[in-house]
Amino acid sequence: MNILFLCTGNSCRSILGEATFNYLAPAGWKAMSAGSKPAGYVHPRSLALLAREGISTEGYHSKSWENLPATPDIVISVCGNAADETCPAYLGPVLRSHWGVEDPAHATGTDEEIDAAFMKAYRILRARIEAFLALPLETLKHDKPALKLAMDKIATIVV
């Protein structure tokens, strides 16, 4: 099963989701990420955070949803609910869920405050990914309505 973490810029949240999912996922499950308007770079704080967490950053880069390496089975949008942020809608015939997370790239303040915003986004995504991976996935992948319901419930997890 291929999971697509989708946002606008593909520089922070979707990369954190992709890398964390691939780090934790069982065989047969693979994540990718993309953006509708890719930034063209991965935010250095995202890469530093992943490295501190022991998650490989090799091969991750900002990319467009028009150049995916595989067709996704599930699309998880991760754009937050900020007033000026519109999350792209993937138009293929896939299962969709919205796991909104505020964009740490817009965080301001001291280095510690900005790092804390990145860590908060990572912790929320990791908790949701762990909850997803704890589901009876072999059963649910054949029951799309139940999987969608479970994924939408996971979207409410905050840490």
Catalytic annotation, residues: 7, 79, 87
CA 112 to the chain's CA centroid: 23
120: which residues sit within 8 A by CB, 6+ positions away? 102, 104, 159
Give the residue among 153, 147, 149, 135 at the shortest CA–CA distance from 26: 135
Order of strands across the sheet that contains 30-35? 30-35, 2-7, 74-77, 95-98
Alpha carbon distance 106, 125 (integer Å): 17
